[in-house]
Amino acid sequence: MAFENSKDIFRGSMSLISYETGGNIEKNRLLNENIPKNQIICNLIRLARHGTPLLKIGEGNPRIMGIAGVHGNELPPQIASLWLIDELIDCDINGTLYVIPFAIPYATMENSRRFKGIDMNRIASKGGYVSNNIVKAIKMLNIDAVADFHSTKPKSNPGRESVFCSKNPSYQSFEIARYITNATSSELIGYDHAGTLYTGALEDECNLAGIPAVTCEVVSENGEIDEGSPQRSYLQMISYLEYFKLI
């Protein structure tokens, strides 16, 4: 599809990968006040009213994905993902980037960590849930690597800017995390084997399936936007792309 853009012509595609999650992103005032409003992003926000949107930019290999909003009340990475889209929509990139800027638009609209009372980052291994639908889409699209972007409130777990990874069965998870943490001065939190801390995290399910994945955290109160937190999340995203030489 081709979408008119105030900057240029964007040649990419938008689709839905879950139809039960739709919500009006613009009702989240804090989020709405901090995002660019070019035509592409306006189209993306409209699409999110019907479910989980997936944006594709570029062509060819590598094929990587960035995800935000698995927890709807973690606003900085959702803002940063839209900044990233705004930056890249009129650029040539060296491969294919898939972006899910709000995994659960309804939870984002409600500024809620949970969707239907469930933490979706604890249940990605079970069919019928949006996080599992995302894992299925990752496999279907032959994605080479995944980064799931979050924010963590102070004095929580982890409560500090960090990148989670594991060495087995996908050692590249550790290599990606090491690159991002070296580039951003985030802390590396690594495990010998995926799923060590808890089961059902989107990152772990990807690693267990042989698709290298990391979880990137910045610090911000839940449902709020701490000063500088979207910028820190954006830097993590840029570092992720730089690891794969997309930009």
Helix runs in the chain, H state only: 29-32, 39-48, 75-88, 105-110, 130-140, 172-184, 202-208, 229-243
| Mean pLDDT, residues 131-151 | 98
Phi, psi of 6, rounded to the nearest 5 degrees: -60, -25
Is residue 5 over pLDDT 50? Answer: no
- Against a cut of 0.85, is the pTM above it? yes
User: Nearest CA to 53 among 28, 89, 24?
Assistant: 24
- 47-75: pLDDT as tens digits: 999 999 999 999 999 999 999 999 999 99
Q: The domain that contains 84 carries what CATH number?
A: 3.40.630.10
Assess contact for 212 and 153: CB atoms under 8 A.
Answer: no
* CB-CB contact of 211 with 146 (8 Å): yes
Q: pLDDT tens digits, residue range 92-107? A: 999 999 999 999 999 9
Q: What is the mean pLDDT of the chain?
A: 94
Q: What is the reported pLDDT for 11?
A: 61
Name the domain count of the chain. 1
Return the C-alpha torsion angle 165, 171, 177, 183, nearest 10. 170
**Which structure tokens are listed for 196?**
């060590």
**Residue 68 lies in domain:** 2-243
By residue count, the chain amounts to 247
Give 161-209 pLDDT, tens digit per residue: 999 999 999 999 999 999 999 999 999 999 999 998 888 999 999 999 9
Confidence (pLDDT) at 91: 87
User: What type of residue sits at position 59?
Assistant: E
Would you state the pLDDT for residue 10? 57
**What does the pLDDT average to over 150-161?**
96
**Beta pairing class for 162-168 and 9-18:** unpaired
